[in-house]
Amino acid sequence: MVYLLRGMNFCATHSNLFRLRHITLMEQNNKKIFIFLTGRNDWGLFKRRNESLLLEISKRETVEYAIHIEPITLLGFINLTIKLLKRENLKDENIRHIYKLHFKKALFPLPILADKKIYVYSLFVLYTGKNTILRKLSNLLIKLQGKIINKKFNLSRRDIVLVVYPPSYYLLQAIKTIKHDMIIADLVDDVIERISDDKKKKFVEHYKNILSMCDWVFSTSPVHREAYGNYTKHEIEFLPNGVDVEEFSVGVPEELVKNNGRKTVGYVGYIGDTADMDLLEYIVSCNPNVTFYLIGPVARNILEQVNKIVHQYKNCRYLGIRRHTEIVAYISSFDVLINFKKADYRTRGNDCMKIYQYLAVGKPVVSTPISPAERFKDIIYVALDKFQFEKYLKQALEEDNKEVMEKRIKTALQNSWKKRADVILHRISEFGL
């Protein structure tokens, strides 16, 4: 009888193990693959919105892995090669390491494993001009590369979610080629407002083609509903930017320690056409006893103005490009953080990611009235002109309010990338994936 019971128990256990094994296999088969089709070739450098979302989504148990696809042109590859050969342009080892990865993925025909569940891939785009024959040839190459991805990841037997970032010329052919079960679009900034009139018609057509194919569209600003709402199947949903608060518990960079007791004001981010350089020069000139630090890439047409301010005012320093893994340390070390982007039609559709990062360290923030500054005006200083900016900056430099500091950090926690990824995964589940 004992042997019989043991035998029955063994059979039951074996049956349960088989069932568990079967369920596990089913769960593995039902895990999703996310493929992000982006417009910029800068994986690992600045951790923009697309990269932040992909990193967070890839952590989930329901996700098997994620693929980050970036376009690269022949000119882009040549520039990348020149940067690597001219080592003085890449003195920072962290940045040089990332550029080496970009060089490798530009040459390698298959996606490269960049992390445990993340692959990165450079999709070569031959041509983006008007010549019909060259455009067809370029599309053929995109199609071939898409088929390589399909075969590599056996996409015909998976639950695939494409996340696309228009506008980018390769997207339409990539969407047609790469196998998928669902397409969602993430609209970042109001790009149409930043381009010349002769290109607007082509860009609008691009948005129409891409968004009409999408099952769901979300964006960094509610203004996109008005601008692109007629091109979509469903209403465009507002999904703001976010921040990973845990990243900001790091030390102080050596460059910022040697300030001889001077207060520091920092700006981190791209300095381009939307930067108010007159505002920057005004506040630098009004505060000779405060050291201002600028970090980030600078547009070519703005570089002369940046150099002029740095050379004219000894209390303003440009530290160049820094990788996002270093940026968090700088942000943590400044006494006050600023945002001097112009609040005009070009930034109307923005949701400035640096402000979320600034809030994560709890330090005082002074900003022009661009999103999301106005949503957080109870905990940051929002200035309408350069005189008010200077007034608020002086107040911020003297601020000593732990309660407000804690409220800023709490607000950052409420706007984490984890919460943004939760929204995306929940909406996808509502579509049956």
- How would you write the pLDDT of the chain (433 residues) with one tens digit per residue? 332 323 334 344 344 443 444 334 334 457 999 999 999 999 999 999 999 999 999 999 999 999 999 999 999 999 989 888 876 556 677 888 888 899 999 999 999 999 889 999 999 999 988 899 999 999 999 999 999 999 999 888 779 999 999 988 899 999 999 999 999 999 998 887 777 777 788 888 999 999 999 999 999 999 898 889 999 988 999 999 999 988 876 666 666 656 678 999 999 999 999 999 999 999 999 999 999 999 999 999 999 999 999 999 999 999 999 888 888 889 988 999 999 999 998 888 899 999 999 999 999 999 999 999 999 999 999 999 999 999 999 999 999 999 999 999 999 999 999 999 999 999 999 988 8
CA 175 to chain centre: 21
Residue 364 DSSP code: -
Under 8 Å between Cβ of 43 and 50:
no
Segment holding 244, helix H or strand E? none
User: What is the distance between the alpha carbons of residues 268 and 266, in angstroms, rounded to a whole number?
Assistant: 7
Burial class (CB in 10 A: 0-12, 13-18, 19+), 214: buried
User: What is the distance between the alpha carbons of residues 94 and 98, in angstroms, rounded to a whole number?
Assistant: 7
pTM of the model as a whole: 0.89
Confidence (pLDDT) at 138 = 95
Total number of residues shown for the chain? 433
Q: Cα angle at 194 between 193 and 196, to 5 degrees?
A: 95
Segment holding 34, helix H or strand E? strand 32-37
> Residue 205's CB: how many other CB atoms inside 10 A?
11
DSSP β-bridge partners for residue 68: 36, 120
Longest dimension (CA), the chain: 96
In terms of DSSP bridges, do strands 118-124 and 112-115 run parallel, antiparallel, or are they unpaired? antiparallel
Amino acid found at 196: S
Locate all alpha helices (DSSP H) within 153-264, ordered by sequence: 171-177, 197-211, 223-228, 254-257
**Closest by Cα among 251, 295, 248 to 412:** 248
User: What is the distance between the alpha carbons of residues 369 and 377, in angstroms, rounded to a whole number?
Assistant: 9
Contacts of residue 211, Cβ cutoff 8 Å, sequence gap at least 6: 166, 185, 217, 228, 231, 232
Confidence (pLDDT) at 192 = 78
Under 8 Å between Cβ of 200 and 190:
no
Going from the N-terminus, what domains does the chain have, and what CATH number goes with each? 32-242+417-430 (3.40.50.11010), 245-414 (3.40.50.2000)
User: What is the distance between the alpha carbons of residues 421 and 433, in angstroms, rounded to a whole number?
Assistant: 15
Residue with tokens 């047409």: 301
Confidence (pLDDT) at 3 = 28
Confidence (pLDDT) at 2 = 31
Locate the DSSP E strands across 81-165: 112-115, 118-124, 159-164
